[in-house]
C-alpha cells in the first residue's frame, strides 16, 4: 500500500547514545552510520569488528554472530544486502545492526546474553520494564515509517504506519489524514505518539495531540481519535 503524504520523508536515525531515565532504552543508527562504524564498533562489550570489507563479526557472551553483505555492492544501488554496526545498549544488553535489503532500511538486534537474533529497525526503543520494544523501519519510497511493536523475545504484537490513513474515494489511493511522530513509551508501558491532522501541518499554531496505542477488542487503535476534516485530501 502506497501512502501519499504532502511532506518530505527524511532518511535519518538517532545516534546510538545512552540518555537519562527512559531515554537510556533507545538505540539507533546515526545519519553517518557508514563513516562512523569504525568508532562505534568499540561499544561492543565483547568486541565487534570487520573481518573483511563486506563481513561483520559481533561477539556476544558465549560466541559470535556474523553478517555478510550480498552483491551488488555500493551505496548508489538500492539492490543487494548490506550490514553496518550501529551500537550497543548496556541497559537492554542489545546490539543494533543496520540492515539494508534492496530498498528497505531496517535493522537487526543481537541479544548479548543469548546471541539470539531479533527483528529491529533503524531506531529501536524499549519499554521501561524491557518487556516490549518499538522498531522503526524506512522502506524506500514510503513517505513515513513502518512501526512494529515486539515482545522482548521478538514476537510481533502490532504493526502499523507513522500515520492514520483514509482511502481517497475517487482516486483510489490511501493517504495520511493524521500524521504521527515522536513515538515513546509512557510509564504504564504503553506506546504514545504526537498526532496532528494533515490539514493542520502548515498552520502557524498547530494543534498537536498525544495519542496512545490501545487494544480495543481484537484490534489496536490510537486514542483519543482525532477528528480531521476530509477537506485535507490531496
Task: Note whether 95 and 82 are same-domain residues.
Answer: yes
Is 176 contained in some domain?
yes
Task: Note whether 168 and 126 are same-domain residues.
Answer: no
Task: Note whether 209 and 198 are same-domain residues.
Answer: yes
Nearest CA to 198 out of 234, 159, 145 is that of 234
CB distance 22 to 128 below 8 Å: yes
Full-model pTM? 0.85
pLDDT at 76: 61
What mean pLDDT comes out for the span 221-232?
82
Task: Note whether 137 and 180 are same-domain residues.
Answer: no
Task: Note whether 111 and 130 are same-domain residues.
Answer: yes
User: Residue 222: which domain range?
Assistant: 162-234
Is 110 contained in some domain?
yes
Show the DSSP H helices in the chain as ranges. Answer: 33-40
Task: Note whether 131 and 229 are same-domain residues.
Answer: no
Residue 46, burial from CB neighbour count under 10 angstroms (0-12, 13-18, 19+):
middle
Task: Note whether 136 and 26 are same-domain residues.
Answer: yes
pLDDT tens, position by position, 132-189? 999 999 988 788 899 999 999 999 999 999 999 888 777 777 889 999 999 999 999 9
Is 2 contained in some domain?
no
Torsion over CA: 22, 132, 186, 28 (sign): positive
pLDDT at 221: 96
- Of 135, 160, 185, which marks where a domain is finished? 160
Task: Note whether 43 and 149 are same-domain residues.
Answer: yes
- Of 102, 134, 160, which marks where a domain is finished? 160
Which percentage of the chain shows pLDDT scores above 90?
68
50-84 b/e with 16+ CB inside 10 Å = b?
eeeebebbbbbeeeebebebeeeeeeeeeeebbbb
Task: Note whether 154 and 40 are same-domain residues.
Answer: yes
How many domains does the chain fold into?
2
Amino acid at each position: 500500500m502506497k501512502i501519499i503524504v504532502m511532506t518530505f520523508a527524511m532518511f535519518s536515525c538517532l545516534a546510538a547514545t545512552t540518555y537519562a531515565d527512559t531515554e537510556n532504552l533507545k538505540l539507533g543508527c546515526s545519519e553517518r552510520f557508514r563513516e562512523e562504524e569504525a568508532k562505534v564498533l568499540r561499544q561492543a562489550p565483547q568486541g565487534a569488528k570487520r573481518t573483511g570489507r563486506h563481513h561483520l563479526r559481533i561477539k556476544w557472551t558465549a560466541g559470535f554472530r556474523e553478517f555478510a553483505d550480498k552483491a551488488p555492492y555500493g551505496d548508489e544501488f538500492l539492490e543487494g544486502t548490506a550490514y553496518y554496526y550501529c551500537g550497543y545498549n548496556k541497559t537492554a544488553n542489545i546490539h543494533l545492526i543496520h540492515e539494508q535489503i534492496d530498498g528497505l532500511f531496517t535493522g537487526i538486534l543481537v541479544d548479548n546474553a543469548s546471541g539470539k537474533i531479533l527483528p529491529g529497525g533503524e531506531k529501536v526503543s524499549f519499554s521501561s520494564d524491557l518487556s516490549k520494544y518499538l522498531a522503526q523501519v524506512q522502506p524506500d519510497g514510503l513517505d513515513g515509517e513502518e512501526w512494529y511493536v515486539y515482545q522482548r523475545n521478538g514476537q510481533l504484537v502490532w504493526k502499523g504506519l507513522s500515520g492514520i490513513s483514509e482511502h481517497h474515494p475517487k482516486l483510489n489511493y490511501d493517504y495520511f489524514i493524521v500524521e504521527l511522530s515522536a513515538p515513546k513509551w509512557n510509564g504504564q508501558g504503553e506506546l504514545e505518539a504526537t498526532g496532528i491532522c494533515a490539514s493542520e501541518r502548515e498552520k502557524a499554531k498547530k494543534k498537536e495531540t498525544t495519542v496512545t496505542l490501545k487494544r480495543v477488542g481484537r484490534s489496536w487503535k490510537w486514542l483519543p481519535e482525532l477528528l480531521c476534516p476530509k477537506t485535507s485530501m490531496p
